[in-house]
Structure 1
Amino acid sequence: MRSTRPRFLRSGLVSALTGLTALGALLFAAPGAQAADTPLRDLAAAKGKLIGSAVNPAKLTGTYGDIAGREFNTVTPDNAMKWESVEPSRGTYNWGPADQVVAFAAAHGQQVRGHTLVWHSQNPGWLANGSWTPAQLSTILQDHIAAEAGRYKGRIAAWDVVNEPFNEDGTYRSSIWYNGLGQDYIANALTWARAADPSAELYINDYNVEGVNAKSTALYNLVRSLKQRGVPIDGVGLQAHLILGQVPATLQQNIQRFADLGVDVAITELDVRMQLPSTSAKLTQQAADYKAVADACVAVARCVGVTVWGFTDSDSWVPDVFSGYGAATPYDEAFAPKPAYHAIAGSLGGTTTPPDPGTGCTAAYSVVNQWNSGFTGQVRISCAGAALSSWKATWTFGAGQTLTQAWNADCTQSGAAVTCTNASYNGTVPDGGSVTFGFNASWNGSNPVPVVTLGRTP
């Protein structure tokens, strides 16, 4: 590596959520829905690797924030550092969302992966629709890189400096940058990024370059040429937006050939989409795919780690872009860890408590609304691998919370113990399906999240 920065920061557990931090939908479930016995970030750190996720700064609270802080030792802002977000008008900057991510990472002992300084997409209208001479365009690009990379100097571990420069056949992508400045816009951007933040690792990032093919070979040739010319280039990002069952057989070989050039490699945007609905068989295949990617990275010393592009299906970009596809991430929409999560943990050397093979069903408790004296809660029961009939969910309130109303379930409370059984119309949870029930309750002082145990009524 060019810099002396360690590849990972010291990892550690965030404290258990108590009081008002339980406002979000924190997942605790039946034994089948437990996360790994050791957080992913600690497993990864023990192997000298990073494990990360793209995160939405607006959601870094409650369950979402708890998982993001507990499980990952690096985070990537999903859209908050892209050009249209940070420089919506020329010379006028909006740093708020990006600052949120950087602050969150600092509070949780995490690295930040900056994404992205130069891209053909998500550029503001003033830039995309302007008429620029090459000299003007070059100045705009240099100024933007200096402003953004300079603002976070010393706080960003790695930058995806140039994003997606190639077409599928290995030719350069037509873009405002290539058309206006030629292929040397890449070398210039890297050089300007180094000047703005000398300590950050500088990457070129692209998709469909995971295996050995025309596109990845073009990227390989570019990186080799840049190094020969003395242009600062520290790493290559393989996005890894994959389709179920289609992990390239040459993934590890491809990672190794880039490493042999003397650069680091990172899996930067991993997800594995499937045609919906999700089934047990598809989730099993997805887990195998995630494990194959993680295994390939673990096997190559200069593969610094794996970042997933969002860790929960509720925050995934896939359904909005690929009609009929989804369920692409390691956590389901209710924040329950899927088989893919356990496969990653296993690849990193961890022991896990995977879904109970007898039921394959989990229960996720969340607080969906809270006010001074009360709150609305929800429990979602999900099954994958088998159906569940005549279900029962039980938990113990830890701070004097009292049920006042329930719907879609018959709920009773005795002291602190709560028991909810299915209503007459929703007693069966099908394989691949879910049932949700809700309740209102009172609270005073704190509202810690209970552990839910899922079972069957006699």
Structure 2
Amino acid sequence: MKKLIIGAAALILSAGAFTLINTQAEAAVQTLQSLAAAKGKYFGSATDNPELSDTAYTAILGGGEFGQTTPGNAMKWDSTEPSQNSFSYTKGDAVVSFAQAHNMTVRGHTLLWHNQLPGWVSALPATQLQAAMENHIANVATHFKGKVFAWDVVNEPFNEDGTFRTSPFNNAMGSDYIAIALRAARAADPTAKLYINDYNTDGQGAKADGMYNLVKSLKAAGVPIDGVGFQGHLAIQYGFPTNMQANLQRFADLGVDVAITELDVRMVLPRDSTKDATQATYYSNVVKACVAVTRCVGITIWDYTDKYSWIPSVFSGQGAALPWDDSLVKKPTAYNAIAVALGGTAESASPTPSRSTSSSPPPAGACAATYKITGSWPGGFQGEVSVTGSKPGWTVKWAFANGQTISQLWGGTVSQSGANVTVTPASWNNTPPATFGFLASWNGTNAVPTVTCA
């Protein structure tokens, strides 16, 4: 896929977020990962290093919805070996560390791709490229040995007509470069599952046929190939891929695993209810196809939120491709379509405005605070407090009435003793107008407290 281009972005909390409630309160809280695990599969989200500094984002990424992650860029050649024989793993290690801390597995992505290559690779004489390729694979796969369960060894080797894509590797070695790369990866990490990964192979067609014939020939030649990744970058304006389930099954019948590796479903903006419904159908169809194929091991969405989607920077006027919006709020149609296709129950959504409470308007030199619940899901919710007035160094206090407990707060420092909460500002958030947000747990009732500001 294309390189993600991500700039710094401030956290934006939706003031009109819906509240999500589990329809079976007596049951254990369902997540996409728990539902997938019940089917013998995983459900994951890609991520990238810039996102890991966004605490509201990481609270969801590592909060149980996802059991697997894929680094969007941190393990690609331009990141891991920017100059020949000079290797850098800082970014990849950061993603692995996050995953390990949150009980998530990691798919390595990617050892070999025609894109995002440092200039020195393409500048090498063809006679030197195989050795450089094998050296790169050996070093990177060895570094991450035991930390990734699978590798996209070769990424996007095909043209749309099923012929092999022109690349420095194909130019130097012909299509044999694929077998050479797979053997090098197996030698470096004998236990990782080795994949070939591509887009527009999700349904039957010429490109999928090219992939099928390649995998069949590799298997016949005894080349180590354990799986095929189907990226799943879909768009509602182009129609759903042809016979996806049957296509996945024919690859599985070759004796390899299959996986949906980079799923998103884009649309021409703006969003509307009709487009959302079509998008939800696409998500449902993909998940159902994977569930129906025993050797489909899992599904990864290409980051979970529109806030960090690659789509708008590549497809002008398109976006809204993911199950969470750019305010980190679940889209009920897309999210529920995935959950139900995994065998779960739909969460009910109430499009009522956020509940809030305010303190009295402040006198000169004082402050006031407004508390809002901006999103809620089974067992947890997100809140926001806005501080107004002219008093620097404010302090906001409230008392929870229903046993709520704050787990994470940004924009300030929190202390909680029983029901009583006190928040003081971060240094950059010292003077009103100021806003801070938080994540907290709740159970049964989530009354909005009265807040004071001094």
Fold shared per TM-score above 0.5: yes
Where in structure 2 are the equivalents of 1:299-378 lying within 5 Å?
299-338=292-331, 339-356=333-350, 360=351, 363=354
> Partner of 1:264 in structure 2?
257
Give the 3 Å change call, closer, same or farther, for CA 74–213 of structure 1 in structure 2.
Answer: same
Inter-partner Cα distance in structure 1 for 2:370 and 2:84: 45
Instruction: Output the amino acid matched with 1:269.
Output: E
| Counterpart selection for 2:388 from 381, 405, 408 | 405
Inter-partner Cα distance in structure 2 for 1:163 and 1:55: 18
How many corresponding residue pairs? 378
1:214 and 2:206 are equivalent in the alignment = yes
Deviations 1:387-444 (A, max 9, x none): xxxxxxxx998xxx9864179xxxxx995589xxxxxxxxxxxxxxxxxxxxx99765
Give the 3 Å change call, closer, same or farther, for CA 90–379 of structure 1 in structure 2.
Answer: farther
Give the 3 Å change call, closer, same or farther, for CA 27–304 of structure 1 in structure 2.
Answer: farther
Give the 3 Å change call, closer, same or farther, for CA 120–58 of structure 1 in structure 2.
Answer: same
CA contact (8 A) 1:177 1:185 kept: yes
Instruction: Output the amino acid matched with 1:191.
Output: R
CA contact (8 A) 2:51 2:308 kept: no
Inter-partner Cα distance in structure 2 for 1:83 and 1:35: 43
1:90 and 2:84 are equivalent in the alignment = yes
1:175 and 2:167 are equivalent in the alignment = yes
Instruction: Output the amino acid matched with 2:99.
Output: A
| Counterpart selection for 2:285 from 289, 292, 315 | 292
> Partner of 2:230 in structure 1?
238
Inter-partner Cα distance in structure 2 for 1:290 and 1:30: 22
Note the C-alpha offset of 1:26.
Answer: 8.3
1:137 and 2:129 are equivalent in the alignment = yes
Instruction: Output the amino acid matched with 1:83.
Output: W
Unaligned stretches of 5+ residues in structure 1: 1-22, 366-373, 383-394, 408-412, 419-439
Note the C-alpha offset of 1:213.
Answer: 0.3
CA contact (8 A) 1:206 1:237 kept: yes
| Counterpart selection for 2:196 from 204, 212, 218 | 204
Give the 3 Å change call, closer, same or farther, for CA 414–164 of structure 1 in structure 2.
Answer: closer
1:279 and 2:266 are equivalent in the alignment = no
TM-score norm. by structure 1 comes to 0.75
SS of 2:116 mapped into structure 1: coil
1:148 and 2:161 are equivalent in the alignment = no
CA contact (8 A) 1:51 1:305 kept: yes
Note the C-alpha offset of 1:95.
Answer: 0.7
> Partner of 2:156 in structure 1?
164
Note the C-alpha offset of 1:378.
Answer: 9.6
Instruction: Output the amino acid matched with 1:254.
Output: N
1:120 and 2:114 are equivalent in the alignment = yes
CA contact (8 A) 1:114 1:160 kept: yes
Give the 3 Å change call, closer, same or farther, for CA 171–264 of structure 1 in structure 2.
Answer: same
SS of 1:142 mapped into structure 2: helix
Inter-partner Cα distance in structure 2 for 1:73 and 1:414: 36
> Partner of 1:101 in structure 2?
95
CA contact (8 A) 1:53 1:308 kept: yes
Deviations 1:2-42 (A, max 9, x none): xxxxxxxxxxxxxxxxxxxxx97789986534689411111
Where in structure 2 are the equivalents of 1:70-85 lying within 5 Å?
70-85=64-79
Inter-partner Cα distance in structure 2 for 1:202 and 1:253: 22
The answer to which of 292-301 and 50-59 deviates more is 50-59
Task: Tell me how large the CA RMSD over aligned residues is.
Answer: 3.4
Give the 3 Å change call, closer, same or farther, for CA 29–177 of structure 1 in structure 2.
Answer: same
CA contact (8 A) 1:119 1:162 kept: yes
Deviations 1:155-196 (A, max 9, x none): 111100000001001111001110111100000000000000
CA contact (8 A) 2:291 2:342 kept: yes
SS of 2:267 mapped into structure 1: strand
Give the 3 Å change call, closer, same or farther, for CA 221–364 of structure 1 in structure 2.
Answer: farther
Note the C-alpha offset of 1:92.
Answer: 1.0
Inter-partner Cα distance in structure 1 for 2:259 and 2:30: 23
CA contact (8 A) 1:165 1:206 kept: yes
> Partner of 1:14 in structure 2?
none
CA contact (8 A) 1:34 1:337 kept: no
Note the C-alpha offset of 1:355.
Answer: 2.4
CA contact (8 A) 1:244 1:274 kept: yes
Identity score, percent: 48
> Partner of 1:425 in structure 2?
none
Inter-partner Cα distance in structure 1 for 2:51 and 2:370: 19
> Partner of 2:439 in structure 1?
449
Deviations 1:47-80 (A, max 9, x none): 1011111101232251211211121111000000
Inter-partner Cα distance in structure 1 for 2:281 and 2:382: 36
Give the 3 Å change call, closer, same or farther, for CA 46–444 of structure 1 in structure 2.
Answer: closer
> Partner of 1:32 in structure 2?
19
Inter-partner Cα distance in structure 2 for 1:364 and 1:270: 34
TM-score norm. by structure 2 comes to 0.76
SS of 1:71 mapped into structure 2: coil
Instruction: Output the amino acid matched with 2:287.
Output: A
Note the C-alpha offset of 1:260.
Answer: 0.4
SS of 2:224 mapped into structure 1: coil
Unaligned stretches of 5+ residues in structure 2: 1-9, 24-28, 357-366, 376-380, 391-395, 402-409, 417-422, 424-437, 449-454
Instruction: Output the amino acid matched with 1:239.
Output: Q
> Partner of 2:429 in structure 1?
none
Instruction: Output the amino acid matched with 1:174.
Output: T
SS of 2:106 mapped into structure 1: strand
SS of 1:449 mapped into structure 2: strand
